[in-house]
Structure 1
């Protein structure tokens, strides 16, 4: 029993290290999102850090339109980045979870 507990603790520590390594790797995974007409282009990391925003000069003429474009395009990029982030971390966590009867958390 005690040996099993020590094994589980070791596996949990190993999984924690893998989760941290995955978070670091997600800094290098980029999602590009464009507005429907291509006038705005956003690049965001899978850790949801904005890396680049490219704005077509045409949008600079209309502040309200630019703000709307930024909101819509950034929200789409953040949603995609969040999906990648959560999927990657869930895969690592599932792989490293000890098998405890009755605790099927990741089905």
Structure 2
């Protein structure tokens, strides 16, 4: 289980390493393009939304020693979600080959 730390360490989220690795790619690409976005995270009994902006420090802490393999389709779905009016919500990983170009808009 990894951890996403946002801001000066006062807000953190426990996120499974594989999902966190995919989120890191999405955050990096959105912020590199100068596109801040809303991130929604839900845990048992707690739900919160935070504005992801390049001026706020972000730390991705991974528990595992090996980097997870990446699913490009999942990254594309998450990128589309982050660009939506509702912001980024953690979506389940699609099976390889199940996301079509039409589904991505």
- Class of the TM-score when normalised by the shorter of the 2 chains: under 0.3
Please tell me whether Structure 1 or Structure 2 has the larger radius of gyration of its CA atoms: 1
The TM-score normalised by the length of structure 1 is: 0.24
Higher strand share: 2
- What is the TM-score of this pair, normalised by structure 2? 0.25
